[in-house]
Structure 1
Amino acid sequence: MNNALSQLKDIHLPPAVDWWPPAPGWWLLALLVLAAVALLVWFVRRRIKRVDLYQVSLQELDEIRARYAEDPDAQRLAADLSRLLRRVAITLRPEAEVAGLTGKEWLAWLDAQVDGSEFSDGAGRFLEEGAYRPGGELQDAQALLSVVENWLKKVTREASHA
């Protein structure tokens, strides 16, 4: 019996498991974490852009309002408001949808965004030709500014919550 025990070899342990390459589950987890981080960054940037659009558009409207108070030029007011509305619209919607609209189609599109008719039938009608008609008579500038302000608030708020 002594002879059989002397023929036994010592136990050899396998080498330690390396940390590289990780198991497939770790690769999958890393991909999921990267995708979640990328989605979070996209969402936060989109949210910041929309909030900034709300603040910037209303700030620019205030500047237009102040410029009109100093020099009540209805033609310049209509041109400034039209530019502001167009830039906000192109920021929120595909350019191809918005850029080519003019006249009544443009006013109808503006109305459709807020489910109203203030541009087609109300004070906003002045934007259709006011920027192109020298000495155009604007009946109520405050009503026009109010219509534009309400439109900006509604579409930029909705965009920031989307």
Structure 2
Amino acid sequence: MEPAGTSLDPMTETALRSLKDIAVPPPVSWMPQTWGWAVLAAILTLILAIAFLLWLRHYRANAYRREALTLLAGVEAKIRNPETRQFGVRDLAILLKRVALAGWPRDDVASLAGAAWVKFLEVHGDRATSRALQAVLDDLEYQTSEGSGANTETELIAGARNWIERHHVSA
């Protein structure tokens, strides 16, 4: 290495003066170069928008289920308390009717009672759920709080929750 301040030979100086900066190419564009990619991007955007709108429609259509499940939590507390059990059972029957009225036309649901109401729950739910809920509709609300066990209450609440979550509403 030569110390600073020493002169270079003329040949090296000429070579260094003739050097130029490296030419950097322009950055590559992210825009597609052919129209096919643009069409594909438009189709994918359209599919995503349609999927989002279908999900939003489904979410809004099931708002009554979410509200009913929230109300069911309060009814469950009433049913589990022996002092308010009869009011809770009555509220559960009202809640199930409200859910049915939200999902089906009023003319089809409002007049149902007794065996027809149980049949409706069975047709639009499953058989095990309707058997658990039949106790509410038949005679459970008239029993004293000592006459029924915690197992019956648990089955009743589980059956109601199952029916609210899984009943099928035809479009």
TM class, shorter-length: 0.5 to 0.7
Aligned position for 1:124? 133
What's the RMSD between the two structures over aligned residues? Answer: 2.9
Aligned position for 2:71? 60
For residue 109 of structure 1, give the secondary structure of its aligned residue in structure 2: helix
Moved more, 125-134 or 61-70: 125-134
The answer to whether structure 1 residue 82 and structure 2 residue 93 are counterparts is: yes
Moved more, 87-96 or 136-145: 136-145
For residue 108 of structure 1, give the secondary structure of its aligned residue in structure 2: helix
Which structure 2 residue ranges, 5 or more long, are not aligned? Answer: 1-52
Normalised by the length of structure 1, the TM-score is: 0.59
Superposition pairs for residues 1-162 of structure 1, below 5 Å?
47-71=58-82, 73-119=84-130, 122-130=131-139, 133=142, 135=144, 137-139=147-149, 140-155=152-167, 158=168
CA deviation after TM superposition for structure 1 residue 125, in Å? 1.9
Distance 1:115 1:141 in 2: 19
**Identity score, percent:** 22
Distance 1:133 1:98 in 2: 23
Distance 1:72 1:129 in 2: 21
Higher RCO structure (Cα 8 Å, ≥6 apart): 1
1:106 partner amino acid: W
Deviation digits for residues 43-102 of structure 1, max 9, x if unmatched?
Answer: 788545323212111111111112223445442232111101100101110101000010
Contact 1:54 1:152 in 2 (8 A): yes
CA deviation after TM superposition for structure 1 residue 150, in Å? 0.3
Contact 1:74 1:138 in 2 (8 A): no
Contact 1:103 1:128 in 2 (8 A): yes
2:60 partner amino acid: K
Runs of 4+ in 1 over 3 A off after TM superposition: 42-49, 70-74, 129-132, 136-139
Distance 2:125 2:132 in 1: 15
2:161 partner amino acid: E
Deviation digits for residues 95-117 of structure 1, max 9, x if unmatched?
Answer: 01000010111011011002425
2:156 partner amino acid: L
Distance 2:148 2:115 in 1: 18
Matched residues, number: 116
